[in-house]
Amino acid sequence: MSCLTATILGAASEAPIWTSKVGAIAAGVTATVALLALLGTVRQLRQTRAHHYLQRYDEPQLLPYIVKTHAVIKDDGTVSTRIAKWDKMSFAEQLDVLLFLNFWEELASMYNRKLVDRKIVAEWFGDAAIAYWQMAEWLVLHQRKELPEDGIYSEWETMCAHIKRRRAA
């Protein structure tokens, strides 16, 4: 080994220990900043999704479906009368009603999986979600009984229960 190489290797091995400590601290700070940036991005994405549902709820194209749904699910008579009215509707008319109910199920699915900002959803949609659930529960129970899938609108039901518990706390 040459004298120059031995001198360089000796100097490197005698480097101050503080340089490796500073390097470790810098790596830790970088990891922390990256984690905080990731958490901020996730939070922003949840808020953006919640606002997307607010926009969809306010779209004029949805209004006719809300009106049709409200006309079917509102409390005007006994449950058996409402079920008879539902069963007499054409498939297309039923789909029009279900489109708005499916909006709630989709939003609730995102809510239950914490993929939307729950605070925004509870504040802006909470009263409406619970009110529509109470009005539509008879139809949901009827569909669960009539169709092979017994978990129809279970996400919406779960979200409403969570919002009620959250408000009670």
pLDDT tens digits for range 145-157: 988 887 899 999 9
Q: Is residue 81 part of a domain?
A: yes
Q: What six digits make up the tokens of 106?
A: 């989709």
Q: Is residue 85 part of a domain?
A: yes
State residue 21's pLDDT score.
Answer: 73
State residue 41's pLDDT score.
Answer: 57
Q: In angstroms, rounded to a whole number, what is the distance separating the alpha carbons of residues 55 and 91?
A: 28
Overall number of domains in the chain: 1
Q: Is residue 21 part of a domain?
A: no
49 and 121 in contact (C-beta within 8 Å)?
Answer: no
Q: Helix count (H) and strand count (E) of the chain?
A: 7, 0
Give every residue of the chain whose pLDDT is below 50, as ranges: none
- The parent domain of residue 108 ranges over 49-168
Q: Is residue 162 part of a domain?
A: yes
Q: Is residue 66 part of a domain?
A: yes
State residue 158's pLDDT score.
Answer: 97
Q: Is residue 39 part of a domain?
A: no
Q: Which residue has the tokens 């659930």?
A: 133
State residue 10's pLDDT score.
Answer: 55
Q: Is residue 19 part of a domain?
A: no
Q: In angstroms, rounded to a whole number, what is the distance separating the alpha carbons of residues 157 and 130?
A: 9
Q: Is residue 150 part of a domain?
A: yes
State residue 8's pLDDT score.
Answer: 52
